[in-house]
């Protein structure tokens, strides 16, 4: 706040700016004098929005109908339809054909053999992306089988594959529509932004009511979470298709459909692939939350292991999720590359035939050799015991120095910042932020800030929102301080990049809970553990955009700098860094978004902020407060997003001015 | 695996040979057993699954959240749950039963207990425990830097309730409540402290594996009575309620009301289904501490207690 209210350079301080500053000062004085903002935060909601939402939710679930069919019947039917392909896949991959249950359970046909599926996946990976990925696929399969994770992994894979396909196709369709009719594009973007920033926990309850308990509700929650990036990516990708390419298509007489499928999509493929990557990552990110509402599989294994504090077993199951994420991501990326390159089909057909044979032969053999159907329990490997011992060892040997660090940070950094934010009167915070927004992006930005800020005030979540803001700000600052320098350093070292990418993928898909609970052992319940959890998740985009920003500075500028005799440091300071600035700002934005999306998870170690409100509302079965607190998280996210976007636009502008 | 299938065959054959031959399930519609995420419920739900499917019912297990289960039971997404704990679910359960869409199926058997708990080695640092008055003089032994000189009490997740803040005030205890975010996070801290023999005072509940693995005791507060929570005049502090320990409560079975008409016999079996508290504790220990699978442990119980559960199923016997 402070740097916004200090006057910038003299010539920029227009009359309007001066007036705004004066107004801000007046508000500050008023806050102190009037009882309105003296306490800093309004106590109770001014409007019972949460109650209204509850009523509306109940009406939709119980009474709403379309053409005489109850709305919830429609959604239930949809759920059943979506469930069907997943069940078929689960039968093929994980369960086999079973009749009866409990005492009467009988395996009629075994599932596809682990050996067969592994071989076929390796073949596919090899054909699509080369020997390295082929080997990786083989190793993954062996890991899943020998560690006794195969059945769970196949359960998860079945629903994940379906979710990825659903998010991909829905995202494409929505993105294409939004691109074609620019009128609806802002609306679509706004809805997608909200969908992405409202924590999943806050709409879990309505999802359960509408789609029923079990995997189908998990499915819809996952798609709602993973689809927005695909929509964004599609719109941006289609916009980036050069207009002369489209002119060419028109001149050669392509129909609209032909233009889309034969010209636009293939040209846009590399950018679409980025969206696909996000879909895959976010879908697997949801595995844990999905298993909380009945999806089973690896997420459930993780939860079960953590419940008995078996960190080792949780880590093993968590790594299985990572392995699936990386494999799926690399495969789909390779597929996208091949589509855009338009490779021949003849060889692909042969691959399919061989692949099918690879699955079928061991599966048939597994009827006679049970070890091929399921890796024998007696031969199962595990590193859980040594991992658990390691956690205990660290706990016993290093607790005291760690405790000293925790106490210092908590008492001298975190608590003061938290208390300060809680004390600031809300009119002042909103006015100062709006002023900053106005300077960066004009009246519209300022208006957005005010409206969203007032929403938080009116719903009565201001105090909680400040709690969220303090955790988010601290973790974002730390994430950027670590992530950007590291990313910039890695950008110059091509050989390190594949390894770093793998590490970042692991950070983003290894379920946070897996390392959150060992962190609790060392740092206790409370804000410090939450900070670590948020930081470890939000550092990934900071590193990614650090790398990306550095790599995409046009090489001619760097050459020009070298020719004019700049030292390395000068090149970095005056050419690379300004060139990378727009990307870095986007990185700040993404880091903030990731940090905010972790708030709900951080609530699991006992924070007191919006995430906790959402989580508590869920566990008490109250849809209204959950949704409204979730919307407050979204409002916070959108305020920060608007301001950063305005800043990025300005940075790009001045960048363009000074260099073109 | 194959051996298991074979045993299942034998038992099926037995079942068909004796009782179930004459019995046919009232409906093919799947009975959806709620599967919660704590171990005791996993084991007893699997046992019920074994019993019901032996008599030819179609059974599905549906994973559902402890507190978020009620809408599911009210509209038939869930049919039967074996564990509803009074200590945490009292209000929500009664409200749900009051809608008329959910049935109270009676008590499962084990009694739930939850309260302040400490590891036994703390008795050296705070003589006089387990009596609660000892806490007044040795709060510092339980303190952390950010709560000192007050003691630090690690409470359950906020959503569990429990009135610990009120209890501290009513009893004049020099303590501060720090809430864990989740069950697992709470026991992670217990494990951390126990390994280092460090001070800790926290919320523990049972049946759970922790009190059987870690040596410790519940703090003995003045015993709970309903008046303690509602009437300030009750108890030591004449001006404040909650000057007592927590209720030690039932664990009840619940079911979707309309299912009574669809599967009357299955509902009858469920009503008769009871378990012994110590027995449940042992089953939980087998799974959580000895690391055996829920299915194995449940099947072992079903085999050892076949006479018992066949008796519950008299409606299916003829």
Which residues of B fall within a CB distance of 8 Å from A103? 8, 11-12, 15, 50-51, 53-54, 302
Question: Token pair of A29, please?
Answer: 């004085």
The residue ranges of DSSP E strands in A496-636, in sequence order, are: none
Contact call for residues A407 and B146 (beta carbons, < 8 A): yes
pLDDT tens digit sequence for A426-444: 888 899 999 988 888 888 8
Determine the straight-line distance between the first and last CA of chain A, rounded to whole angstroms.
33
CB A307 to CB B1 under 8 A?
Answer: no
CB A374 to CB B67 under 8 A?
Answer: no
Q: Label residue B17 by pLDDT band (50, 70, 90).
A: very low
Phi and psi torsions of A167, nearest 5°:
-65, -40
- B113 membership: H or E segment, kind and range: strand B113-119
Closest CB to A104 among B12, B159, B191? B12
Scanning the structure block, which residue is given the tokens 């864990």?
B180
Candidates A70, A101, A209, A295, partner chain B, best to mutate (most B CBs within 10 A):
A101
Distance from CA of B47 to the nearest CA of A (A): 8
Distance from CA of A151 to the nearest CA of B (A): 13
Which residues of B fall within a CB distance of 8 Å from A602? 181
Equal fold, B22-111+250-316 vs B113-230: yes
**Counting one residue from A and one from B, how many pairs have CB atoms under 8 Å apart?**
176
Q: Label residue B297 by pLDDT band (50, 70, 90).
A: very high
Q: What is the pLDDT of residue A3?
A: 40
Q: What is the pLDDT of residue A340?
A: 66
Which residues of B fall within a CB distance of 8 Å from A214? 62-63, 77
Q: Would you kindly state where each structural domain of chain B is located, as residue ranges?
A: 22-111+250-316, 113-230
Q: Check whether residue A172 and residue A238 sit in a common domain.
A: yes
Q: Check whether residue A235 and residue A356 sit in a common domain.
A: no
Q: How far is it, in rounded angstroms, from Cα A62 to Cα A73?
A: 10
Q: What is the pLDDT of residue B9?
A: 43
Closest CB to A521 among B157, B192, B291? B192
pLDDT tens digit sequence for B133-186: 999 988 889 988 878 788 999 998 876 777 888 899 999 999 988 888 777 888
Distance from CA of A424 to the nearest CA of B (A): 23
- DSSP-derived pairing of the beta strands B31-35 and B59-63: parallel
Which residues of A fall within a CB distance of 8 Å from B193? none
Closest CB to B195 among A396, A526, A605? A396
Q: What is the pLDDT of residue B19?
A: 42
Closest CB to B188 among A292, A520, A615? A520
Q: Check whether residue A120 and residue A247 sit in a common domain.
A: no
CB B71 to CB A104 under 8 A?
Answer: no
- DSSP-derived pairing of the beta strands B127-130 and B102-107: unpaired
Q: Check whether residue A348 and residue A328 sit in a common domain.
A: no
Closest CB to A307 among B37, B49, B302? B37
**Sheet harboring B151-155: ordered strands across?**
B175-179, B151-155, B202-206, B113-119, B216-218
Name the percent of chain B lying above pLDDT 70.
92
Closest CB to A308 among B64, B186, B209? B209
Q: Check whether residue A491 and residue A548 sit in a common domain.
A: yes
Q: Check whether residue A179 and residue A194 sit in a common domain.
A: yes
Distance from CA of B196 to the nearest CA of A (A): 6
Distance from CA of A192 to the nearest CA of B (A): 27
Phi and psi torsions of A366, nearest 5°:
-65, -15
- In A, minimum Cα distance to B70 occurs at A621
Angle in degrees, CA B228, B229, B233, rounded to 5: 50
Q: Check whether residue A428 and residue A476 sit in a common domain.
A: yes
Q: Label residue B118 by pLDDT band (50, 70, 90).
A: very high
Q: Which residues pair with B61 in a beta bridge?
A: B33
Q: Check whether residue A123 and residue A214 sit in a common domain.
A: no
Q: How far is it, in rounded angstroms, from Cα A187 to Cα A175?
A: 12
- Give the count of domains, chain A: 3
CB A525 to CB B5 under 8 A?
Answer: no
CB A619 to CB B191 under 8 A?
Answer: no
Which residues of A fall within a CB distance of 8 Å from B157? 606, 616, 619
Q: How far is it, in rounded angstroms, from Cα B86 to Cα A93?
A: 41
Q: What is the pLDDT of residue A650?
A: 81
Q: What is the pLDDT of residue A44?
A: 65
CB B59 to CB A102 under 8 A?
Answer: yes
A35 is a domain residue: no
- In A, minimum Cα distance to B88 occurs at A620
Q: What b/e readout covers A462-493, taking b as 16+ CB neighbours within 10 angstroms?
A: bbbbbbbbbbbebbbebbbebbbebbbebbee
pLDDT tens digit sequence for A104-124: 667 777 888 888 899 999 998
- In A, minimum Cα distance to B2 occurs at A370
- Using CA atoms of A604, A477, A31, A20 in order, give the dihedral in degrees to the nearest 10: -140
Domain that holds residue A208: 157-342
Closest CB to A102 among B49, B145, B185? B49
Q: What is the pLDDT of residue B8?
A: 46
CB A309 to CB B154 under 8 A?
Answer: no
Which residues of B fall within a CB distance of 8 Å from A603? 181
Which residues of A fall within a CB distance of 8 Å from B60? 101
Mean pLDDT of B27-46: 87
Which residues of A fall within a CB distance of 8 Å from B154? 525
Q: What is the pLDDT of residue A18?
A: 67
Candidates A102, A205, A520, A607, partner chain B, best to mutate (most B CBs within 10 A):
A102
Q: What is the pLDDT of residue A347?
A: 62
CB B181 to CB A300 under 8 A?
Answer: no
Q: How far is it, in rounded angstroms, from Cα A34 to Cα A470?
A: 26
Q: What is the pLDDT of residue A341?
A: 66
CB B185 to CB A517 under 8 A?
Answer: yes
User: Helix, strand, coil: what percent of chain B each, to 5?
Assistant: 45, 20, 35
CB A294 to CB B185 under 8 A?
Answer: no
Q: Check whether residue A505 and residue A363 sit in a common domain.
A: no
Q: How far is it, in rounded angstroms, from Cα B71 to Cα A239?
A: 45
Candidates A219, A308, A528, partner chain B, best to mutate (most B CBs within 10 A):
A308
A127 is a domain residue: yes
Distances (CA, A) of A18 to A10, A12, A49: 11, 10, 37
Q: What is the pLDDT of residue B216?
A: 93
Q: Check whether residue A333 and residue A350 sit in a common domain.
A: no
Which residues of B fall within a CB distance of 8 Å from A204? 68
Closest CB to A604 among B1, B178, B181? B181
Q: What is the pLDDT of residue A16?
A: 63
Cβ neighbours of A80 (radius 10 Å): 12
**Is 50 exceeded by the pLDDT of residue B130?**
yes
- Name which residue leads in pLDDT, B274 or A652: B274
Q: How far is it, in rounded angstroms, from Cα A118 to Cα A143?
A: 10
**Is 60 exceeded by the pLDDT of residue B187?**
yes
CB B184 to CB A309 under 8 A?
Answer: yes
Contact call for residues A105 and A98 (beta carbons, < 8 A): yes
Q: How far is it, in rounded angstroms, from Cα A514 to Cα B262?
A: 43
- In A, minimum Cα distance to B64 occurs at A293
Which residues, given as ranges, of chain A have pLDDT below 70? 1-22, 24, 26-45, 99-105, 213-214, 294, 340-348, 619-621, 655-660
Residue A300's nearest CA partner among A312, A280, A310, A314 is A314
CB A294 to CB B63 under 8 A?
Answer: yes
Q: Check whether residue A416 and residue A473 sit in a common domain.
A: yes
A421 is a domain residue: yes
Question: Token pair of B219, please?
Answer: 């703090």
Distance from CA of A369 to the nearest CA of B (A): 11
Mean pLDDT of B259-281: 92
Q: Check whether residue A426 and residue A520 sit in a common domain.
A: yes
A437 is a domain residue: yes
CB A104 to CB B8 under 8 A?
Answer: yes
Q: How far is it, in rounded angstroms, from Cα A416 to Cα A433?
A: 21
Architecture of domain B113-230: 3-Layer(aba) Sandwich (3.40)
Contact call for residues B132 and B220 (beta carbons, < 8 A): yes
CB B67 to CB A620 under 8 A?
Answer: yes
Distance from CA of A485 to the nearest CA of B (A): 33
Report chain B's mean pLDDT, rounded to a whole number: 85
- Name which residue leads in pLDDT, A308 or B295: B295
Which residues of B fall within a CB distance of 8 Å from A205? 68, 71
Specify the CATH number for B22-111+250-316; select among 3.40.50.720, 1.25.40.850, 3.40.190.10, 3.40.50.880.
3.40.190.10
Question: Token pair of B149, please?
Answer: 């000189």
Distance from CA of B162 to the nearest CA of A (A): 14
Residues 6+ apart with CB under 8 A from B14: none
Number of helices (H) and strands (E) in chain B: give both, helices first.
Answer: 15, 11
CB A525 to CB B38 under 8 A?
Answer: no
Distance from CA of A307 to the nearest CA of B (A): 5
């Amino acid at each position: 706040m402070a740097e916004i209210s200090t006057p910038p350079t003299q010539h920029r301080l227009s009359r309007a700016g001066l007036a705004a500053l004066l107004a801000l000062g007046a508000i500050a004085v008023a806050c102190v004098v009037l009882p309105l903002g003296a306490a800093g935060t309004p106590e109770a909601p001014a409007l019972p929005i949460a109650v209204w939402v509850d009523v509306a939710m109940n009406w939709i679930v119980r009474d709403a109908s379309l053409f005489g069919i109850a709305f919830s019947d429609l959604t239930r039917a949809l759920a059943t339809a979506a469930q069907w392909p997943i069940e078929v896949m689960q039968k093929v991959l994980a369960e086999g054909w079973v009749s009866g249950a409990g005492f009467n359970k009988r395996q009629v046909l075994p599932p596809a053999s682990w050996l067969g599926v592994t071989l076929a996946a390796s073949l596919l990976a090899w054909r699509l992306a080369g020997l390295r990925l082929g080997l990786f696929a083989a190793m993954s399969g062996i890991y899943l089988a020998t560690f006794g994770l195969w059945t769970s992994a196949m359960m998860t894979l079945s629903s994940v594959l379906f979710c990825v396909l659903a998010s991909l196709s829905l995202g494409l369709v929505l993105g294409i529509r939004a691109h074609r009719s620019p009128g609806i594009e802002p609306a679509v973007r706004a809805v997608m932004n909200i969908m992405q920033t409202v924590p999943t926990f806050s709409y879990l309850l309505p999802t359960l009511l509408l789609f029923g308990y079990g995997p189908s509700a998990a499915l819809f929650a996952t798609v709602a979470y993973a689809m927005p990036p695909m929509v964004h990516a599609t719109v941006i990708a289609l916009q980036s298709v050069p207009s002369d390419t489209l002119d060419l298509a028109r001149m050669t007489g392509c129909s609209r459909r032909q233009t889309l499928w034969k010209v636009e999509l293939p040209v846009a493929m590399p950018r679409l692939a980025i969206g696909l990557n996000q879909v895959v990552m976010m879908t697997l990110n949801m595995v844990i939350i999905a298993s909380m509402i009945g999806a089973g599989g690896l997420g459930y294994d993780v939860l079960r292991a953590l419940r008995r504090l078996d960190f080792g077993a949780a880590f093993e199951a968590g790594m299985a999720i990572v392995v699936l994420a990386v494999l799926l991501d690399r495969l789909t990326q390779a597929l996208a590359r091949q589509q855009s390159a338009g490779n021949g089909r003849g060889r692909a057909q042969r691959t399919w035939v061989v692949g099918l044979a690879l699955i079928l032969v061991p599966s048939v053999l597994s009827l006679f050799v049970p070890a091929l159907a399921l890796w024998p329990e007696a031969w199962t490997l595990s590193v859980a015991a040594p991992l658990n011992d390691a956690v205990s060892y660290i706990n016993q040997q290093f607790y005291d120095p760690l405790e000293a660090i925790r106490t210092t940070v908590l008492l001298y950094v975190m608590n003061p910042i938290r208390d300060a934010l809680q004390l600031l009167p809300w009119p002042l915070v909103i006015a100062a932020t709006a002023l900053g927004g106005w300077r960066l992006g004009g009246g519209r930005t300022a208006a957005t800030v005010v409206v969203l800020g007032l929403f938080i005030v009116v719903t009565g979540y201001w105090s909680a929102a400040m709690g969220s803001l303090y955790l988010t700000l601290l973790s974002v600052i730390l994430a950027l301080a670590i992530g950007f320098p590291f990313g910039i350093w890695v950008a110059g070292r091509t050989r390190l990049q594949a390894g770093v990418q793998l590490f970042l993928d692991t950070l983003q898909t290894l379920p946070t809970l897996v390392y959150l609970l060992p962190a609790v052992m060392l740092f206790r319940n409370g804000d410090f553990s939450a900070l670590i959890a948020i930081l470890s998740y939000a550092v990934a985009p900071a590193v990614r955009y650090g790398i990306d920003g550095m790599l995409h500075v046009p090489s001619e500028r760097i050459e020009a700098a070298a020719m004019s005799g700049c030292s390395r440091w000068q090149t970095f300071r005056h050419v690379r860094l300004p060139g990378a600035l727009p990307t870095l700002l986007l990185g700040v934005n993404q880091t903030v978004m990731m940090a905010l999306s972790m708030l709900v998870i951080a609530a699991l170690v006992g924070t007191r902020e919006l995430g906790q409100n959402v989580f508590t509302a869920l566990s008490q079965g109250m849809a209204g407060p959950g949704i409204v607190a979730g919307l407050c998280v979204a409002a916070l996210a959108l305020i920060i997003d608007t301001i950063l976007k305005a800043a990025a636009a300005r940075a790009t502008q001045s960048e363009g001015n000074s260099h073109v | 695996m194959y051996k298991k299938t074979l045993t299942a065959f034998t038992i099926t054959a037995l079942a068909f040979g004796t009782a179930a031959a004459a019995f046919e399930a009232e409906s093919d519609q799947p009975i959806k057993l709620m599967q919660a995420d704590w171990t005791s419920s996993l084991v007893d739900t699997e046992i019920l699954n074994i019993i019901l499917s032996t008599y030819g019912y179609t059974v599905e297990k549906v994973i559902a959240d402890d507190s978020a289960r009620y809408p599911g039971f009210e509209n038939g997404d869930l049919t039967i749950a074996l564990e509803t704990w009074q200590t945490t679910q009292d209000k929500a359960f009664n409200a749900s039963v009051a809608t008329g869409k959910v049935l109270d199926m009676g008590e499962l058997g084990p009694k739930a207990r939850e309260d302040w708990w400490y590891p036994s080695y703390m008795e050296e640092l705070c003589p006089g425990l387990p009596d609660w008055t000892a806490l007044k003089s040795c709060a510092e032994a339980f303190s952390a830097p950010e709560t000192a000189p007050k003691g630090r009490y690690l409470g359950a997740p906020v959503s569990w309730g429990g009135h610990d803040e009120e209890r501290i005030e009513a009893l004049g205890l020099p303590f501060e409540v720090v809430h864990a975010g989740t069950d697992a996070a709470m026991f992670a801290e217990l494990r951390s402290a126990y390994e280092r023999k460090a001070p800790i005072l926290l919320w523990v509940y049972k049946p759970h594996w922790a009190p059987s693995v870690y040596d410790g005791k519940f703090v003995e507060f003045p015993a709970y009575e309903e008046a303690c929570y509602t009437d300030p005049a009750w108890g030591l502090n004449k001006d404040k309620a909650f000057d007592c320990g927590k209720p030690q409560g039932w664990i009840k079975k619940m079911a979707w009301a309309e299912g009574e008409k669809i599967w009357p016999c299955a509902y009858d079996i469920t009503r008769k289904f009871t378990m012994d508290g110590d027995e449940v504790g042992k089953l939980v220990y087998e799974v959580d501490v000895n690391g055996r699978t829920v299915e194995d442990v449940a099947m072992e119980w079903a085999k050892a207690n076949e006479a018992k559960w066949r008796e519950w199923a008299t409606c299916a016997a003829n």
